[in-house]
């Protein structure tokens, strides 16, 4: 007879670095709420975040988080700001001394603080419980339904398993990973009637087993929208990187019926960055996942539809309509289109690299693989900011990280602040004028052949991990014959279309193209896919907003 699972209890979390205060808060909470809620206590912001992430993966709901303001390393406001990304619906309370009330008031705008409590809170019947009663009632009345956890069973060196984990993580879908070699993984495979010959197995929140699903099937079963709710919109945004998300936020917030179409996961290359430290307003840095996750929620808040796992294959013009066609034969039409397709990492030309992609060779940060790299020797190919950010992140747990740079130094492509960090990291080495000549391994990466381009000498090194950042190519082939591009595939727009002052061939309007407008009226471009763009997150977001302003101007004159 199978025993029923213990019902999940909603969590109230308290965080304070003073053990005595921490125990006192937890004691008062248990006295009043212990019968109905699970009280979780932590003594640092870092350990509390770890606990929140674990609760999130299990699908446990969190109703209220109480954090002390004066904690070392990470104060209460900084902790609550990061907790907001994990549990955006949890009510947030800051515990402060009288001298810190101004900071608490400021936090209302920074982290959308629900309440602040002055220490001491005695008697709790007057100062603590009434506040929490109101917050818990408000939380219960809101839409805080937790999403049961998706389960993934796979093999460590399965490229398809790696892709599935990355897809779910980048789309912020909670999941639990089980190796096919561990007991629970074998139990899940047996329950699904599988022998493990084909992986991964994905068990969706409702218990549906999917065997090596493609992106559209996986997205549909884990709660991601894949089908537009209408046939016609004011604006279709193609691509969900910073430029596309910026366009979606500004388009929807300004009254345009907006749909964003993304083939994989929102965030683009920026979403894979472990740390962005030069983005305005984040002096301590922010991960790409945090930044783009907030932008996605912001776009949805204003009413933008976000479609995932939809590959765009064509763009047609039919009168005033701009028609975006999908790979499955369906289409969606709009008055205007913003192309924010971004770029993809170029493939490493070394022999053997293609066969071992996803099995030790990864393009981009592949942050889901980082825990497996602990204590390992890691090689990173590339010398731009994305490579440097990945090196700094992976160096936290790696035995060593080696940056392989084709050029004579990092100065040509990496920001100076990042170069300084790399040079100061004790376990990061930089090898300039070095390329990967060959990649070796049977079922996974085992060795690399490196060649010094100055001396011509080659060397074989042992490693199981290589991350590649060697420039980017625009994802614009599907626009061939419709939208003008340069010789590298980047989209031409505005002044770049009319270098001699004359409109592009086929242009029928009595005005020149707007700044971000392509040779097709009403079709605009923003971000890295545009020729001569700055290739920075801030400029991409700005271009997304600017493109929406030009869309309004176009619609007013149409």
> Which residues, at least 6 apart from 320, have a Cβ–Cβ distance to it below 8 Å?
335, 522, 558
Name the DSSP letter for residue 381. Answer: E
Higher model confidence: residue 404 or residue 70?
A: 404
pLDDT at residue 6, rounded to an integer: 42
Residue 5 scores a pLDDT above 50: no
pLDDT (tens digit, 9 = 90+) per residue, 385-413? 989 999 998 998 899 999 999 999 999 89
pLDDT (tens digit, 9 = 90+) per residue, 432-447? 999 999 999 999 999 9
Q: How far is CA 373 from CA 137, 338, 425, in A?
A: 44, 39, 17
CB-CB neighbours of 9 under 10 Å: 14
pLDDT at residue 38, rounded to an integer: 95
pLDDT at residue 144, rounded to an integer: 59
pLDDT (tens digit, 9 = 90+) per residue, 157-199? 999 999 999 999 889 888 889 999 998 888 888 888 898 889 9
Average pLDDT over residues 474-497: 94
Instruction: With cut-offs at 50, 70 and 90, classify the pLDDT of residue 58.
Output: low
Of 93-97, 350-354, 364-368, 426-430, the poorest mean pLDDT is in: 364-368
- Round the average pLDDT of the chain to a whole number and report it: 90
CA end-to-end distance (rounded Å), the chain: 69
pLDDT at residue 101, rounded to an integer: 60
> Is 557:260 a contact under the CB 8 Å cutoff?
no
Alpha helices for 43-182 (secondary structure H): 45-58, 76-86, 101-110, 124-127, 129-141, 159-170
Q: How far is CA 121 from CA 8, 11, 76, 363, 461, in A?
A: 29, 21, 17, 52, 60
Instruction: With cut-offs at 50, 70 and 90, classify the pLDDT of residue 421.
Output: very high
Residue 237 scores a pLDDT above 60: yes
> Could you tell me what percent of the chain has a pLDDT over 70?
94
Q: What is the pTM of this model?
A: 0.76
Residue 97 scores a pLDDT above 80: no
Residue with tokens 């193209």: 513
pLDDT (tens digit, 9 = 90+) per residue, 511-547? 999 999 999 999 999 999 999 998 889 999 999 999 9
Residue 1 scores a pLDDT above 50: no
pLDDT at residue 4, rounded to an integer: 37
Residue 303 scores a pLDDT above 50: yes
Q: Is 418 helix (H, G, I), strand (E, B) or coil?
A: helix
Residue 277 burial by CB count (10 A; 0-12/13-18/19+): exposed, middle or buried? middle
> Which residues, at least 6 apart from 189, have a Cβ–Cβ distance to it below 8 Å?
153, 180, 195, 196, 201
Dihedral sign computed on CA atoms, order 403, 533, 215, 389:
positive
| All domains in the chain, ordered by first residue | 11-141 (3.40.50.2300), 150-213 (3.40.30.10), 232-344+473-557 (3.50.50.60), 361-470 (3.50.50.60)
CB-CB neighbours of 86 under 10 Å: 20
pLDDT at residue 133, rounded to an integer: 93
């Amino acid at each position: 007879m199978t025993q029923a699972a213990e019902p999940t209890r909603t969590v109230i979390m308290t965080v304070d670095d003073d053990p005595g205060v921490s125990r006192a808060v937890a004691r008062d909470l248990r006295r009043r709420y212990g019968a109905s809620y699970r009280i979780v206590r932590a003594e640092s912001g870092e350990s509390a975040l770890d606990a929140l992430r674990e609760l999130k993966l299990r699908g446990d709901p969190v109703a209220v988080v109480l954090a002390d303001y004066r904690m070392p390393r990470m104060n209460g406001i900084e902790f609550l700001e990061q907790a907001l990304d994990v549990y955006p619906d949890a009510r947030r309370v800051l515990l402060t001394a009288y001298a810190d009330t101004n900071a608490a008031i400021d936090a209302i705008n920074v982290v959308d603080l629900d309440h602040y409590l002055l220490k001491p809170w005695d008697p709790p019947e007057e100062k603590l419980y009434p506040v929490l009663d109101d917050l818990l009632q408000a939380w219960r009345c809101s839409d805080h339904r937790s999403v049961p956890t998706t389960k993934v069973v796979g093999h460590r060196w399965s490229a398809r398993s790696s892709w599935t984990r990355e897809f779910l993580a980048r789309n912020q879908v909670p999941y639990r990973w089980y190796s096919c070699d561990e007991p629970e993984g074998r139990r899940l495979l047996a329950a699904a009637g599988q022998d493990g010959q084909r992986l991964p197995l994905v068990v969706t929140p409702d218990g549906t087993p999917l065997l090596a699903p493609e992106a559209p099937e996986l997205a549909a079963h884990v709660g991601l929208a894949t089908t537009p709710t209408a046939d016609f919109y004011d604006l279709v945004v193609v691509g969900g990187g910073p430029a596309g998300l910026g366009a979606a936020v500004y388009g929807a917030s300004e009254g345009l019926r907006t749909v964003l179409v993304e083939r994989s996961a929102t965030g683009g290359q920026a979403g894979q960055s472990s740390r962005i430290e030069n983005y305005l307003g984040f002096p301590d840095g922010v991960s790409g996942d945090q930044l783009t996750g907030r932008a996605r929620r912001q776009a949805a808040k204003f009413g933008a539809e976000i479609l995932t796992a939809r590959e765009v294959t064509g763009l047609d013009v039919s009168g005033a309509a701009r028609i975006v066609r999908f790979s499955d034969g369906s289409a969606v039409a709009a008055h205007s289109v913003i192309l924010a397709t971004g770029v993809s990492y170029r493939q490493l030309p070394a022999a053997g690299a293609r066969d071992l992609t996803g099995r030790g060779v990864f393009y981009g940060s592949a942050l889901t693989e980082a825990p497996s790299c602990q204590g390992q020797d890691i090689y990173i190919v590339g010398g731009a900011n994305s490579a440097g950010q990945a090196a700094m992140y992976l160096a936290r747990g790696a035995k060593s990280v080696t940056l392989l740079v084709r050029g004579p130094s990092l100065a040509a492509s990496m920001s100076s602040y990042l170069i300084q960090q790399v040079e100061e990291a004790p376990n990061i080495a930089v090898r300039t004028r070095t390329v990967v000549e060959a990649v070796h391994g049977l079922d996974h990466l085992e060795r690399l052949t490196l060649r010094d381009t100055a001396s011509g000498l080659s060397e074989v090194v042992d490693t199981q991990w290589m991350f590649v950042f060697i420039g980017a190519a625009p994802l614009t082939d599907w626009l061939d014959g419709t939208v003008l591009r340069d010789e590298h595939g980047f989209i031409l727009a505005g002044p770049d279309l009319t270098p001699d002052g004359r409109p592009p061939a086929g242009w029928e309007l009595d005005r020149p193209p707007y700044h971000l407008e392509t040779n097709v009226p009403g079709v605009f471009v923003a971000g890295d896919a545009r020729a001569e763009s700055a290739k920075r997150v801030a400029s991409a977001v700005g271009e997304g907003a600017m493109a929406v302003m030009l869309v309004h101007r176009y619609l007013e004159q149409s």
